[in-house]
Every structure is written in C-alpha cells, then in structure tokens.
C-alpha cells in the first residue's frame, strides 16, 4: 500500500490487489506484553530537566516571582 499522485498532482491511494480480491492473509495480533524500552541516558536527563523546570516554575508561581501568563 502506498501513496502516489495522479496526473494532476493529487494524492492517490494504491491498494494491493490481494487485499481487493480477498486473497490477503491476516496474522493474529501478538498478545504478549510488550517489553519496556530501555531508557537512554539522554532521555533520562531530558526527563529530569523537564521535572526540575516544572518544579521551579511552580515554585516561582507560588511565590509570585514569575508572571502568571505569557504574552
């Protein structure tokens, strides 16, 4: 299955002929639990940075040091 353009440049969906004719074989979905992805050091650092920035923003909002609205 893929996207192509017709003569006028419009998107056109092309479907595999096996799907149209009913000859396609569908596999059952794997019901086993997904393995948790391993977190990289960069992802961990980014998550911790977001958490720290949120805490600082909430602390400033509570003390009134930061503006409450942007713009």
Percentages of the chain per state (helix, strand, coil), in multiples of 5: 40, 10, 50
Average pLDDT rounded to a whole number, residues 49-68: 87
Is there a contact between 1 and 14 (Cβ–Cβ < 8 Å)?
Answer: yes
Q: Band of the pLDDT at 69, cuts 50, 70, 90? A: low
H/E run at residue 63: helix 41-63
Residue 55 has pLDDT above 90, yes or no: yes
Structure tokens at 24: 């396609």
pLDDT at 51: 97
Compute φ and ψ for 54, nearest 5 degrees: -65, -45
Q: What is the pLDDT of residue 15?
A: 77
pLDDT value for 66: 60
Report the pLDDT value the prediction gives residue 7, as an integer from 0 to 100. 76
At 45, which helix (H) or strand (E)?
helix 41-63
């Amino acid at each position: 299955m893929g996207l192509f353009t017709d003569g006028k440049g419009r998107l056109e969906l092309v479907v595999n002929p096996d799907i149209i004719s009913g000859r396609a074989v569908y596999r059952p979905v794997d019901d086993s639990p997904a393995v948790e992805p391993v977190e990289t050091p960069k992802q961990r650092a980014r998550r911790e940075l977001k958490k720290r920035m949120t805490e600082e923003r909430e602390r400033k909002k509570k003390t009134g040091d930061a503006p409450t609205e942007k713009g």
